[in-house]
Structure 1
Amino acid sequence: MSLIRSYDIAIDFGTSTTQVHIKGKGVTYNQPSCIALSKETGKVVAIGTRAKNMIGKVNDKITIIQPVKNGTIENIEAARLLMKHILDSIGFGTIKGSVVMLSIPCTHTEIEKRCLIDMVLHAGARKAYIIKKPVAVAIGNGINVSNPSAWMIVTIGAGICEAAVVTLGTTPVFSTIKTGTDDLDFKIMKYVKEKHGLLIGKNTAEKAKMEVGNVFSLESEMSAEISGRSLHTALPSKETITGEEMKDLFKESVDEIINMIKDLISDTPPELMQDIRQNGIILDGGGANLKGLGELIVYETGLKVTKSQEPELSTVMGTAKALNQLKILIKTGIV
C-alpha cells in the first residue's frame, strides 16, 4: 500500500462540527467548528471543543469565532486558521502529499469551493477534491451513485437543512433553507428565559432538546429538568420543560423543513419521482435524531423514510468511501 493511499483524508467542515477521517485510522477529529483568537496578536488560543467551552467565559482579550454560519463560510481568514490547526493537530502538517476530499452543500459558490481547496493545498495536500454532501451521504449509506436510480437525501444540520435528489452522482434538483438544529436550541433558550425567568446556555438547551424534544405525537409525555441562573435571584435554579412545550416551540422551524421537502417533491421530474417513491427518503444529519421527525415526514409526504445508521457521521464516512472510488468518480465526472 502506498504512502499516499494510506493517508487519504476526508473532511466535513460544517456549521457546528468539523470531522476528519484518515484512511486506516478512522475519524480522528470530531469537534466544534470553533476557534479562539487573541485580539492583540491574532494568534490561535484554542480550537474545537476547548474554544467552544470558552464561550461566555473569556475576557475581552480573546474572541471566539465560528467561521461557518448557515453552511456558508463567513470568515475566510478564521476558517483558514482553523483548518490549518485542525490538520496540524492530527499530524497532517508532517504528512505531505496526501489526497483530500471535502464535502460541501449544494449551494456553495465557486469562491467557497476554491477557498476550501486552497486551505488544504496550502496545508500540504498533494491534491484536493470536492464532493456534494448529498452525494457523500448516499455513498455513506451504501448507494451506488453511478446508478441512474434516484434517491432523496434530506440532511438536517446545525445551520442549514438541505433536501436533494441524487442520481448518476449529480443533484439535479435540490432545496435549501437556512434553518437548523442550532435555531431550535436558541428557541429553547429564549422560551425558558421568557416563561421561567431562567438563563441557560446553548449546551443545556441542546441536551434538553435531545432528551425530550419531539415534533410529532408521542405515546407518553416526557419532561426534562434544566438548570440555569434565575433572572430574579441571580442564583442557580431549576425548571422543568415538557416535550409538548418543545413541539409547539419547534413547529415553525419544522414546518419550514416539511415545506422544503414538499417543494423539492413538486420540482422533481416524474421519472425521478417514480424511483423516489420506491426508494424513499434518507434522513441524515444531527437533526435526524430529533424524536418524531421521520414519522412526521412520512405522514406529510407519504414517502418511506430511512434514517442513516450514523446520521452525524455519514457525510464524512461517505466522503471517505468516495476516496476509495476516486478513479471511477473522476471518470464519470462526479468529482
Structure 2
Amino acid sequence: MVDPLSFFIRGNLLMALVMIYFFCLDFGGYSMSKYLGIDLGTANVLIDVKGEGIVLNEPSVVAINTKNDDVVAVGQDAYQMVGRTPANIKAVRPLKDGVIADFNITEKMLQYFIDKLNVRSRFSKPTIMICAPTNVTPVEQKSIIEAAEQAGGGKVYLQFEPKVAAVGAGLDIFKPQGNMVIDIGGGTSDIAVLSMGDVVTSRSLRFAGDKMTSAIQAYVKSNHSLIIGERTAEQIKIEIGSALEADDKVTFSASGIDIVTGLPKEITVNEKEIEDALHDGVLQIVDAAKGVLEQTPPELSADIIDRGIMLTGGGSLLKNLDKLLAEQLEVPVLMTESPLDSVALGTGILLENIEKHKKY
C-alpha cells in the first residue's frame, strides 16, 4: 500500500523538477532570450532576429476603428486599406518624419509584430536594438525606448540610423578612418561621417521617400488638375521617378479625381515631369551632404574621397540619384547591395557583437 504522504511529496517534487527543467530551457539564465534589431521606419518596420536574419518587413500602417479605437489591422493588411476605408475605419501611419507621432498606436503596432514573431516567453523578454534619426530629441529618444519596452522588450538599446545603416552596408566604421553614408528612408534623410564607431558630423532633414510622394501628388494636382492618392503617387515614384537624365518618352497612366468636374479621370505623366516635381527636394539632400562635407576634418575628407559615399535606404533607389550626388559633390557615390534592408541588417550585425562591444 502506497503511503499517501510519500506519494504527495514525490508528486510535488516531480512537478518542481519539471518546472525547473522548463525554466532552464526557456530562460537559460537569460542567455536564451531573443535579440531583435528593429528598423522602426516611417514607411516600413523591419525586424532582424539574431541568428535568423530579417524575419519581418511590413508597412508602418495601423487601421483603427474610430468608434471604439480598436485595432482592425496592422502592417500589410492595413496598408491595403489606405484610401479604401469607410468613415469609421482610419488607416494611419503612427510615425512621421522618422519619429513617433502617436505613441499608443506605435506601441500597439510593435506589440503586434513582436507577438507575431513569438519571441517572448514566461521567463524572458527579447533584447531590442531600435534606431532613430540623428536629430532626434531626448524626449523623442525616450518615447521610442518606452514604446519598445511597453511592446514587450526587455533591455532596449537605441542607435542612430546612419551608423547602423553604414554597418549594414558593409562599412567598417570602427577603424580610425572616415566613412560617409547617406541614408534616405521614408521620413528622414540622414547624412553622417563616421569614424572609430561614432558619428563625427551629421545632418538629418525631413525630406525623404514620403515627401517625394507628396511632391508628386502636388505636381499632378497643380499641372494636371488631378487629385491622386498616396499609393498612386508612390507607384509613379517607383516606376518613373528620376533625379537626373529623365526621358520624356517614359510614361505612366494615373487615375484620380478631376478638380474641375469632380469626376474620375486618367492622365499620362512622363519621367521628365516627375524629375521636375522632385528637383527641389533632391537638391535639399545635395545641400545637406555638402554641409556635412564642409564640417568634416581634412584627414577624414581624404578618406571619403578615396572610399566614396555609401548610399542606403529605400529613397536611394530613385533613378540616377547616385549620379546626381556624385556630380554635385565631386566624390564617388556607391549604392549598397540591399538599400532597403541596410538598417535592419546593421542591427543584426551589432547585436551579434553586443557582448563584445558594450558601447553599442
TM-score, normalising length: structure 2: 0.85
Query: Which residue pairs with 1:76 in the alignment?
Result: 103
1:303 aligns with 2:314: no
Q: Is the 8 A contact 1:4 1:97 kept in 2?
A: no
Residue type of the alignment partner of 1:80:
E
Question: 6, 9, 29: which one pairs with 2:56?
Answer: 29
Amino acid of the structure 2 residue aligned with 1:149? Q
Residue 284 of structure 1 is matched in structure 2 by 312
| Aligned length in residues | 332
User: Hey, what's the Cα distance between the residues in 2 that align with 1:105 and 1:5?
Assistant: 30
Pairing 1:136–2:164 present = yes
Distance 1:312 1:273, change over 3 A: same
**Following TM superposition, by how much is the alpha carbon of 1:233 offset from its aligned partner in structure 2, in angstroms?**
5.5
Q: Is the 8 A contact 2:60 2:95 kept in 1?
A: yes
Unaligned runs of 5+ in 1: none
Residues 127-184 of structure 1 show CA distances to partners (whole Å, capped at 9, x for unaligned) of: 2212211111121122222211111110112121111011111112001111112112
Q: More displaced, 97-106 or 302-311? A: 97-106
Where do 1:209-288 residues align within 5 Å?
Answer: 209-218=237-246, 221-231=249-259, 236-288=264-316
Q: Secondary structure at the match of 1:152?
A: strand
2:170 alignment partner AA: G
Give a deviation string over 1:172-215, Cα, whole Å, max 9, x none.
20011111121121222222233333332211111111221111
The answer on whether the counterparts of 1:104 and 1:133 sit within 8 Å (CA) in structure 2 is yes
Per-residue Cα deviation, 1:215-273 (whole angstroms, up to 9, x for no partner): 11257842222233444555544321111111111111011111000011111111211
**2: CA distance between counterparts of 1:102 and 1:68?**
14
Partner residue of 2:227 out of 199, 218, 223: 199
Helix, strand or coil at the partner of 2:324 = helix
2:193 maps to what in 1?
165
Residue in 2 that maps onto 1:11 = 38
> 1:63-121: CA deviations, max 9, x gaps?
33312111121221221121112211222344733221112211222232232323333
**Rg larger for:** 2
**Residue 138 to residue 235, structure 1, CA distance change in 2 (3 Å):** same
* 8 A contact 1:4–1:98 mirrored in 2: no
What RMSD over aligned residues (CA atoms) do the two structures have, in Å?
A: 2.2
AA partner of residue 209 (structure 2): T
Give the 3 Å change call, closer, same or farther, for CA 81–186 of structure 1 in structure 2.
same
Alignment equivalent of 1:46, drawn from 73, 82, 104: 73
CA contact (8 A) 2:83 2:229 kept: no
Alignment match of 2:148 (pick from 107, 110, 120)? 120
Spell out structure 1 runs of 4+ moving beyond 6 A.
none
Secondary structure (helix, strand or coil) at the match of 2:356 reads helix
Q: Distance between the aligned counterparts of 2:32 and 2:309, measured in 1?
A: 33
CA positional deviation for 1:305: 0.6
Cα distance in structure 2, aligned partners of 1:121 and 1:237: 47
SS of the residue 1:101 aligns to: strand
Moved more, 49-58 or 310-319: 49-58
SS of 1:323's equivalent in the other structure is helix
- The reply on whether 1:88 has 2:115 as its aligned counterpart is yes
SS in 1 for 2:173: coil
**Aligned equivalents of 2:251 and 2:151: distance in 1?**
47
* Aligned position for 2:209: 181
> What is the identity percentage for the equivalent residue pairs of Structure 1 and Structure 2?
29
